[in-house]
């Protein structure tokens, strides 16, 4: 399997696939039997709105491996289609009293989705980005986003009778600070003022380092290889309870994975593995 930034050689485990299918079939049969028993006994199906019992305490090694693999399979052409706009690393942080506005992971993810929607309304284009969730020593979450910031002023491309919005008429850097603080919306005026002043970052120097799929993955994982900064991948205690976790630690918007697969004979695969290892 060949992608923009990676080559993968794998051998399918047919026995494992068969066992997986058997487990799925057994699970479906068990679920059907349980539903039928409840229907016969109570006259209705059970309420399946059960809360999650899984505790998420850290960014797992499997998720990190998947992250690298996906980053190297993405086609970044849509992000860098303009020759006149430079990539930048955007940082979205939280105020000192962050638990008031983000008591659980779902709240922070809702803020991130709101930012994506606000961007499209203000700049007239969908936000194309790669994002990753990290944590500060104090436990507060923050997001890193690789984006290509727009030129001009917010709201200039808005058409029709759409009403004005927070941040209209500002450059991207100014809009970023005001809109993120408005999304988080800390109820304390002092905390909100401090957050608006220092709640975001815009770094073009870091963005310029992400010139190919491999370097994008390396940038987002640069803290993962340093044990001194492993705390950035540890979920704060307030979010470790079942149902309060952060969910996914990373994602991407507006990009697609592009790969080409070829089946080869075992002898060719062995040669390719040896070549790559060297």
The pairing of strands 2-3 and 256-257 is unpaired
pLDDT above 80: residue 225: no
Residue 76: strand, helix, or coil: coil
pLDDT value of residue 33: 87
When pLDDT is cut at 50, 70 and 90, the band that residue 274 belongs to is very high
* 272 domain-assigned: no
Out of 47-51, 86-90, 238-242, least confident range: 47-51
pLDDT value of residue 192: 94
Helix (H) or strand (E) holding 111: helix 105-123
What tokens appear for 93 in the block?
A: 């942080």
What is the average pLDDT across 37-48?
77
What tens digit of pLDDT does each residue of 198-211 get? 999 999 887 777 76
Query: CB–CB of 207/215 below 8 Å?
Result: no
Q: Are residues 134 and 70 in the same domain?
A: yes
Which position has the token pair 């809360």? 51
What is the average pLDDT across 18-43?
87
pLDDT value of residue 155: 86
Q: Are residues 35 and 78 in the same domain?
A: no
Q: Are residues 41 and 98 in the same domain?
A: no
Q: Which of 177, 130, 123 is nearest to 150 (CA)?
A: 123
pLDDT value of residue 177: 95
d(CA 73, CA 75): 7
pLDDT value of residue 166: 85
Q: Are residues 184 and 230 in the same domain?
A: yes
Q: Are residues 19 and 78 in the same domain?
A: no
Q: Are residues 178 and 239 in the same domain?
A: yes
Q: Are residues 126 and 225 in the same domain?
A: yes
pLDDT value of residue 36: 85
**Residue with the larger pLDDT of the pair 101 and 4:** 101
Give the number of domains in the chain: 2
Provide DSSP, 191-203. HHHHHHHHSEEEE
pLDDT above 70: residue 261: yes
What is the average pLDDT across 139-160?
88
pLDDT value of residue 48: 60
**The total number of residues written for the chain in this structure:** 278
Any idea of the CA torsion for 62, 63, 66, 68, to the nearest 10 degrees?
-110
Q: Which of 193, 124, 128, 200 is nearest to 162 (CA)?
A: 124
pLDDT value of residue 239: 93
pLDDT above 70: residue 5: yes
pLDDT value of residue 224: 46
* 276 domain-assigned: no
Q: Are residues 35 and 154 in the same domain?
A: no
* 262 domain-assigned: no
pLDDT above 50: residue 44: yes
pLDDT value of residue 211: 67
* 41 domain-assigned: yes
Domain span at 30:
12-50
Helix (H) or strand (E) holding 36: helix 14-42
Q: Which of 92, 95, 96, 94 is nearest to 143 (CA)?
A: 92
pTM: 0.81
What is the average pLDDT across 172-200?
95
Q: Are residues 17 and 140 in the same domain?
A: no
What is the average pLDDT across 105-113?
95
pLDDT value of residue 162: 66
% the chain with pLDDT above 70: 92
What tens digit of pLDDT does each residue of 230-260 get? 888 899 999 988 888 898 999 999 999 999 9
Q: Are residues 33 and 83 in the same domain?
A: no
Cα 41 from chain centroid? 44
d(CA 138, CA 131): 21
* 275 domain-assigned: no
d(CA 109, CA 250): 11
When pLDDT is cut at 50, 70 and 90, the band that residue 50 belongs to is low
Q: Are residues 122 and 186 in the same domain?
A: yes
> 142 φ, ψ to 5°?
-155, 155
Helices (H), 43-102: 61-73
Beta-carbon contacts of 160 under 8 Å, excluding residues fewer than 6 positions away, are none
When pLDDT is cut at 50, 70 and 90, the band that residue 161 belongs to is low
* 55 domain-assigned: no
* 269 domain-assigned: no
* 24 domain-assigned: yes
Q: Which of 145, 149, 135, 27 is nearest to 80 (CA)?
A: 149
Query: CB–CB of 180/116 below 8 Å?
Result: no
Q: Are residues 73 and 44 in the same domain?
A: no
CA neighbours within 13 Å on the CB side: how many for 235? 23
65 Ramachandran zone, left/alpha/beta (phi>0; psi -120 to 50) = alpha
């Amino acid at each position: 399997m060949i992608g923009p930034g990676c080559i993968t050689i794998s051998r399918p485990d047919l026995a494992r696939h068969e066992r997986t299918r058997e487990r799925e079939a057994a699970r479906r049969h068990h679920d059907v039997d349980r539903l039928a028993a409840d229907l016969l006994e109570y006259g209705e199906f059970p309420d399946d709105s059960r809360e999650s019992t899984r505790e998420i305490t850290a960014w797992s090694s499997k998720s990190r491996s998947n992250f690298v693999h996906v980053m190297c399979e993405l086609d970044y052409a849509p992000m860098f289609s303009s020759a006149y706009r430079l990539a930048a690393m955007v940082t979205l942080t939280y105020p000192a009293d962050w638990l008031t506005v983000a008591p659980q992971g779902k709240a922070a993810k809702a803020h991130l989705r709101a930012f994506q929607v606000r961007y499209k309304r203000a700049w007239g284009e969908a936000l194309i980005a790669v994002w990753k969730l990290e944590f500060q020593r104090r436990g507060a979450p923050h997001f890193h986003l690789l984006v290509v910031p727009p030129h001009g002023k917010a709201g200039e491309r808005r058409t029709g009778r759409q009403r004005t919005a927070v941040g209209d008429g500002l450059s991207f850097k100014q809009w970023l600070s005001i809109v993120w603080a408005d999304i988080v919306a800390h109820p304390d005026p002092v905390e909100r003022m401090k957050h608006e002043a220092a709640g975001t970052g815009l770094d073009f120097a870091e963005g310029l380092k992400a010139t190919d799929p491999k370097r994008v993955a390396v940038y987002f994982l640069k803290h993962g290889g340093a044990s001194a900064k492993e705390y950035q991948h540890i979920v704060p205690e307030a979010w470790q309870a079942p149902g309060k976790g952060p969910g996914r630690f990373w994602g991407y918007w507006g990009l697609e994975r592009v790969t080409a697969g070829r089946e080869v004979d075992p002898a060719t695969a062995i040669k390719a593995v040896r070549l790559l290892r060297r």
